[in-house]
Structure 1
Amino acid sequence: MTTISTGRMISHPFGNANEGQVCWRPAKSIWAGVMMAVALVFGPLTFSWSGFTLFVITTAITICAGHSVGMHRLLIHRSFRTSKLVERVLVYLGTLVGMAGPFGMIYAYDIRDWAQRQTICHDLYAHRRSFFVDAWWQMHCAVALKHPPAFVIEPEVANDGFYRFLERTWMAQQLPWMLLFYLLGGWGWVVWGTAVRISVSLTGHWLIGHFAHRGGHQGWAVDNVAVQGYNIPKAAVVTFGESFHGNHHAFPGSARLGLERGQIDLGWNFIQLLMWLGIASAVKLPENMMPREGLRRL
């Protein structure tokens, strides 16, 4: 197979994105399983409109400002620039989503992107398996490749003391907020502001990944790669633009994901707000980027 290096993932001559074994990851699995169990059992028992409102607000902030803008578009793809303080705040909010620390998120995105750019890749990276198998694999397992690429994070990020701290303590970062929620609203706020929020975020992230790699609207195709991306317009609002994954495959470094007329991208709108405030600059968009190799308009 052709080996392709993508940024932090550096292929070697025997690099292979297909040969590997799916392995259970206990810490990842227990974390996701406990959050889901608490949400399913205690969510209905502790429901209140104030708790539900807390869930909606905290989910919107952590997914939009944190995950979509801070982790994905800024830290992982460097689609715009901002001050180190603002960057750290956004990445911190992304850590509160409960998926991983900053280094773990970079690795998860980059290894999948590297694998999908090959001519053939493992079924896990392509979301090819059935609905429930893919759910188990994505939220409870990982692929141990026989010949993985080297993973090198740029020193500016790898040596950042705050990011190193977040990486070591990303699960524990929920604790101060759980205490605050308990003091303000009791156990119901803890359940809805933490367990329900995290379980919905984790499940939603997997669902978008599952369906956005299997079919849907596609404005562009990329030739000679193992996996195509597709857009899911109906999920645009609740994913803050992340469901336009076909557009993202076409222009991975773009700060704007909703590229077609009528495509709602609230993450991009948040970046526009940062630009208006003078906080964001050097914004990457399709018109000022080099098109990726093999890109073809449909």
Structure 2
Amino acid sequence: MTTQPDVINDAPKAPGDKPMPSATLGGERKGSIEQITLLVFIAVPFLALLAAVPLVWGWGVSWLDIALLVFFYYLGCHGITIGFHRHFTHGSFKAKRPLKIALAIAGSMAVEGPLVRWVADHRKHHRFSDAEGDPHSPWRYGETVPALIKGLWWAHIGWMFDEEQTPQEKYAPDLIQDRTLRTISRQFIWWTLLSLALPAVIGGLVTMSWWGAFTGFFWGSLVRVALLHHVTWSINSICHAVGKRPFRSRDRSGNVWWLAVLSCGESWHNLHHADPTSARHGVERGQVDSSARLIRWFELLGWASDVRWPSRSRIDSRRKTGEDGSRQERTTAGAA
């Protein structure tokens, strides 16, 4: 790879340097209107998620509604995991221009924030992981039980309402300089509306009814967004508080197996923090990582190149050693 996204340039700007164009909605401080909008986009889908259980019990759910939920869930999830995270944040592979744009749009449709802001926040997280400066560490308030409970809430949701924002020019200058990616990032609200509207439109057209449009919107938009939000946020909170840690990392990232399928492989979080640029996170036998599988298919199709697949020796070099100096739990590394 020719770039190293995880290295942040702290050098001061020269007097003649031109400021970079604004990359996202809002600046480096979050205003009250933006905070209220954020609250709405968190609360409404969550209320729909709570209402889903009695609705299933009373009215049932159609196969079309399930299909819309699953399709748009994994479209957004892989847009985040493959696009926003492994490609744009960490440079785990190079993508042909059409794939790069498609991943930026798919990630935006997950309704988790503009591309540039998401990447900047995550790069800052890796720089200060579980230490002072980390935007969303669950250990922010200490290690006592009350402090950890408070910290888990902060890492899961609370940090998003903090007025202070990550400096995007400092942490994501490469994305800001790309005009197309900058435009996609600034158009986040339109990708959000498209993401919410499509399930309703499809549901209505397939059933030729307003009820089909409503249930398509309820399951394919609201419930889907809420579920994806909380799975993604669980990587910030749960995966930094519990889980196995077979690899050496300077933080408390852990592997949480029961989140693997829903998180598209992101919950194999310990290896990711031990080797952030690795294109595959689930490297042990039986560790499902659908994001790595799709990256492998992109590579075979010629859409992705320079993929940073973890070799056995590379992973073993990051593995913790037992008291006798032997490597613990051998891996099955390699391409997905």
Contact preservation (8 Å) 1:10, 1:150: no
Task: Provide the rounded CA distance (Å) in 1 between the counterparts of 2:201 and 2:164.
Answer: 46
Q: Residue 248 of structure 2 aligns to a residue in which SS?
A: strand
Task: Provide the rounded CA distance (Å) in 2 between the counterparts of 1:254 and 1:154.
Answer: 22
Q: How many residues align?
A: 276
Choose which of 254, 263, 270 in structure 1 pairs with 2:294: 270
Choose which of 32, 38, 56 in structure 2 pairs with 1:28: 38
Whether 1:55 and 2:69 are equivalent positions in the alignment is yes
Deviation per CA, 1:10-46: give whole Å up to 9, x if none.
Answer: 499xxxxxxxxxx984332332123323443478547
Aligned twin of 2:153 = 135
Aligned twin of 1:174 = 192
Distance verdict in 2 for CA 1:193–1:34, change over 3 Å? same
Deviation per CA, 1:232-257: give whole Å up to 9, x if none.
Answer: 12222221110000010111000011
**Most deviating of 102-111 and 126-135:** 126-135
Alignment of 1:1-298 (within 5 A): 6-8=6-8, 10=10, 25-41=35-51, 45=55, 48-49=61-62, 50-64=64-78, 66-116=79-129, 120-121=131-132, 125-128=136-139, 129-131=147-149, 134-135=152-153, 138-142=156-160, 143=162, 151-155=170-174, 157-185=175-203, 186-222=213-249, 225=250, 227-287=251-311, 297-298=320-321
Name the aligned partner's letter for residue 154 of structure 1: P
Task: Provide the rounded CA distance (Å) in 2 between the counterparts of 1:101 and 1:136.
Answer: 20
Q: Residue 262 of structure 2 aligns to a residue in which SS?
A: helix
TM-score, normalised by the number of residues in structure 1:
0.79
Distance verdict in 2 for CA 1:182–1:280, change over 3 Å? same
- Indicate the RMSD between aligned Cα atoms, in angstroms: 3.3
Q: Residue 278 of structure 2 aligns to a residue in which SS?
A: coil
How many angstroms does 1:9 deviate by?
6.3
Q: Residue 125 of structure 1 aligns to a residue in which SS?
A: coil
How many angstroms does 1:203 deviate by?
0.8
Name the aligned partner's letter for residue 233 of structure 2: W
Distance verdict in 2 for CA 1:57–1:47, change over 3 Å? farther
**Most deviating of 128-137 and 169-178:** 128-137
Distance verdict in 2 for CA 1:169–1:35, change over 3 Å? farther
Contact preservation (8 Å) 2:124, 2:135: no
How many angstroms does 1:131 deviate by?
4.3
Task: Provide the rounded CA distance (Å) in 2 between the counterparts of 1:289 and 1:100.
Answer: 37
How many angstroms does 1:147 deviate by?
11
Identity level (%)? 22
Deviation per CA, 1:103-131: give whole Å up to 9, x if none.
Answer: 011022112111217xx326863212444
Distance verdict in 2 for CA 1:61–1:231, change over 3 Å? same
Name the aligned partner's letter for residue 172 of structure 1: W
Deviation per CA, 1:136-172: give whole Å up to 9, x if none.
Answer: 55424345669989724234x2133332232223133
How many angstroms does 1:98 deviate by?
0.6
Distance verdict in 2 for CA 1:152–1:208, change over 3 Å? closer
Name the aligned partner's letter for residue 7 of structure 1: V
Task: Provide the rounded CA distance (Å) in 2 between the counterparts of 1:235 and 1:121.
Answer: 27
TM-score, normalised by the number of residues in structure 2:
0.71
Name the aligned partner's letter for residue 303 of structure 2: I
Gaps of 5+ in 2: 13-30, 140-146, 204-212, 322-336
Task: Provide the rounded CA distance (Å) in 2 between the counterparts of 1:154 and 1:122.
Answer: 19
